Each structure stands twice: as structure tokens, then as C-alpha cells.
Amino acid sequence: MSTENLQHKEAVEKFKQMIDSIDIGMLSTFPKDQEYPHSIPMSRQEVDDEGNIWFLFSSESETHQHLLKNDKVTLTFAHVGDYQFLSVNATAEISKDQARIDKYWNKFIEAWFEKGKEDPRIRVLKVIPNEAYYWDNKTNKLMTLLKVATSAVTGKKMDIGREGELDL
């Protein structure tokens, strides 16, 4: 595994590409006075040009309640079949930005909010990354498997992937 740290525009491009290809990540919040984080699956609405990740969620959720007390979050994305993994530590901001709600509204979101775009429970979650780390393969899945098999048979170390920090 080789290390490839990326910065600025290159880091944001890699970040967006990985999240867009994986889509659903586990969002972990940190409830006050609890030993473990609270994690839920979330489908991103957008990764903007600065690397911020946007979601829609409910003000009635446990996640919302946790974020009112602690704005720190961790997001993890994994696509095991393509050997892509991403860990993000971030700060969260909550709003009722109607323009964002209108922009992100779709049939999937509608299933969660019976009153439509005007539902008073809808909140916009902006996740602002503080640090991000990724792991992925350098080639397609078949080549990665061949390299792993070759390494196992020959004992020779093969560079099967890369990892690194994403300095957004």
C-alpha cells in the first residue's frame, strides 16, 4: 500500500469522486454523557466545491438532538467491492435553508416527510470536513485480486492500493 496525500483541489476532487461513487455513509454523532457514538446511514445530497457534504434530515431525529449539544461528527464511507474507504472528521451546521431544501428535494426524501417540502421538521445538515483519510485500490477489482493472489503465492510484496490524507 502506497501513501498518496492530496491537497486542495486535487483532494476535493478525490473526496467528491469517492463520496459520489459510494453515496451512503455512516454518520456518527457523539451524545453527551454516553460512552459510544450514535451512528446512522445517510445518503448525501451533494459534495460542494469546497468539500462540504450536504444532507436533509429530520428535527425529530436523535441525530438532530445530539448535534444541538455537540457539533462534531464522523462520517465513514465504504465500498468493499471496489476497495474504497473514506473516514471524515467534521463539524456540523444545521439550518432550515429553504433554497437547499428545494434544491435537494426528490422522491426519496419525500418518503420521509409526508407534508412535502414545507414540512416544518426538515433540516439541512452541512458537514464541514476538518480531516479526511482514504484507502483505495490503484487498479480495477480484478487486477487488485490478481496482485493479492500473486503476492500470496510468491511472497513478493505488491503495491495493491493507496492511502492518504485529504487536505481539503
pLDDT value, residue 168? 78
Q: How far is the C-alpha of 165 from the C-alpha of 168, rounded, in Å? A: 9
Q: Which CATH number is 89's domain given?
A: 2.30.110.10
Cβ neighbours of residue 162 under 8 Å, at least 6 residues apart?
Answer: 1, 2, 3, 4, 135, 136, 137, 138
Nearest to 103 by CA among 35, 154, 52, 54: 54
> Do the beta carbons of residue 118 and residue 98 sit within 8 Å?
no
pLDDT digit string (tens) for the chain, length 168 residues:
678 888 999 999 999 999 999 999 999 999 988 999 999 999 999 999 999 999 999 999 999 999 999 999 999 999 988 889 999 999 999 999 999 999 999 998 999 998 999 999 999 999 999 999 999 986 545 444 444 444 456 565 545 567 888 887
Q: What are φ and ψ of residue 58, in 5° steps?
A: -100, 140
pLDDT value, residue 156? 58
Q: Is 69 exposed, middle or buried (0-12, 13-18, 19+ CB in 10 A)?
A: exposed
Q: Quick one: cell of 28?
A: 456518527
* Cross-strand bridge partners of residue 29: 38, 73
* Count of domains observed in the chain: 1
Nearest to 63 by CA among 73, 50, 54, 48: 73
Domain ranges, residue 84: 2-167
Supply the pTM of this predicted model. 0.85
